[in-house]
Amino acid sequence: MNAQELLALADDELILGWRNSEWTGIAPFLEEDVAFSSIAQTEIGHARAWYDLAAKELGANADALAFDRDPDEYRCAPFVELRFVPDWAQTIARHWLYETADTIRIQALMQSEEPVVASLAEKIDREEAYHRMHADMWADRLREEPRFREAVEELWPYALGLLEPEQRDRLCEALGRAAVKAVERGEHTEELRPLWDEMTMVRRSIPGAAW
Amino acid sequence: MIWEVFRQEREGQPFQHGGSLDAPNLAFAEAYARELYGRRDESFALWIVPRESVDEVRDPYVADVFDRDYRRVDGYSLKVKLKEARERAARDVGAGHAPPLQGGS
């Protein structure tokens, strides 16, 4: 995998992890607060692992890749940038769509001819199993809830844009939905910039410091 | 709905009460129990029980409310008596008498 592909994966996980972590302390109830924060944290952990691989190719380090690039240089899909707090239905709709799509992506990477990529994907997949269980149980619970259904409808084109075009059929099949025009990776939403400002605030406060 | 969680730290050990959690159904209870009591390899297995299924028996039916302390053995100094009995038995064996009954220690 080239560095740009690795960065796309890492950026997706970092930005989604960051968005999900916005629920820490304000989730609908305490048990969920703990569970969702923990999921956010493992997403950021996965981002770190992909950044490490990209860093080797680019001669950089994971922190620099995560925090020192300009917002325009991030390769994440618009899907993960959207800010949903305090809308729990949208949050769960994205969580469920993301985990379903991510499963397809990770399982494809487990077949990679690069041993480092395949073994990292396998390790990540084991942790993702918990995310999938969590996402599925929420989707089952909210399935008939109109706000959740609307959110899934609205986010579907974004979810497709997370995957490479050749993987999208599998997502349609997994969810029993028809393909639509995807919101593609490449352009950023307006919501990335304020996220980036906050995410890199401390790091930028003392440039070049060793923490 | 409140669920009580019991943890088994290692295989074969007894389950001990870990704490409780709030979850709308068993699937949620399981997910949260994994998160709260199993995420750091601190448990080998968990039991998740609806609190309403736990039958609690407590005072005055558990504690001794009637004066029946004569049923208790607190007053007997068994330690001294056992020591004497062991010494006697050892002497008897040494003197060629029948060995003491098994299972007395």
Domain ranges in chain B are 2-53
Contacts of B39 in chain A (CB under 8 A): 38
Contacts of A133 in chain B (CB under 8 A): 31
Q: What letter would DSSP give residue A110?
A: T
How many Å apart are CA A152 and CA A12, to the nearest integer? 19
How many Å apart are CA A138 and CA B28, to the nearest integer? 8
Measure the CA angle with vertex A24, ends B27 and A142; round to 5°. 35
How many Å apart are CA B22 and CA B25, to the nearest integer? 9
Rounded percentage of chain B residues whose pLDDT exceeds 70: 83
Q: How many CB atoms lie within 10 A of CB B52?
A: 10
Q: How far is CA A188 from the centre of its chain?
A: 14
How close does chain A come to B80, measured CA to CA in Å?
Answer: 55
Q: Give the pLDDT confidence score for residue A64 in this predicted structure.
A: 95
For chain A, which domains are there? 3-205 (1.20.1260.10)
Task: Report the pLDDT averaged over residues B61-68.
Answer: 68
Contacts of B34 in chain A (CB under 8 A): 130
Asked if the model's pLDDT at residue A141 lies above 90, the reply is yes
Q: What is the architecture of the domain spanning B2-53?
A: Roll (3.10)
- Residues B35, A141: C-beta atoms closer than 8 Å: no
Asked if the model's pLDDT at residue B92 lies above 70, the reply is yes
Contact criterion met (CB below 8 Å) for A95 and A138? yes
How many Å apart are CA A80 and CA A23, to the nearest integer? 15
Mutate to test the interface with B, among A38, A126, A137 (most CBs of B within 10 A): A137
Mean pLDDT check: name the lowest of A79-83, A123-127, B76-80. Answer: B76-80
Nearest to B32 among A31, A140, A141 (CB): A31
**pLDDT band (50, 70, 90) for residue B81:** confident
CA atoms within 13 A on the CB side of B68: 5
How many Å apart are CA A174 and CA A101, to the nearest integer? 9
Higher-scoring residue by pLDDT: A211, B88: B88
- At B17 the three-state DSSP class reads strand
Higher-scoring residue by pLDDT: A41, B79: A41
Task: Report the pLDDT averaged over residues A114-140.
Answer: 96
Mean pLDDT check: name the lowest of A86-90, A108-112, B76-80. Answer: B76-80
Token representation of residue A55: 């860093």
- Residues A31, B28: C-beta atoms closer than 8 Å: yes
Strands (E), chain A: none
Asked if the model's pLDDT at residue B63 lies above 90, the reply is no
Mutate to test the interface with B, among A24, A29, A31, A141 (most CBs of B within 10 A): A31
Task: Report the pLDDT averaged over residues B60-85.
Answer: 75
Per-residue CA distances from A208 to A17, A30, A205, B80 (Å) = 25, 38, 9, 77
Asked if the model's pLDDT at residue A189 lies above 60, the reply is yes
Contacts of A141 in chain B (CB under 8 A): 24-25, 28
Asked if the model's pLDDT at residue B32 lies above 80, the reply is yes
What is the interface pTM, i.e. ipTM, of the complex? 0.84
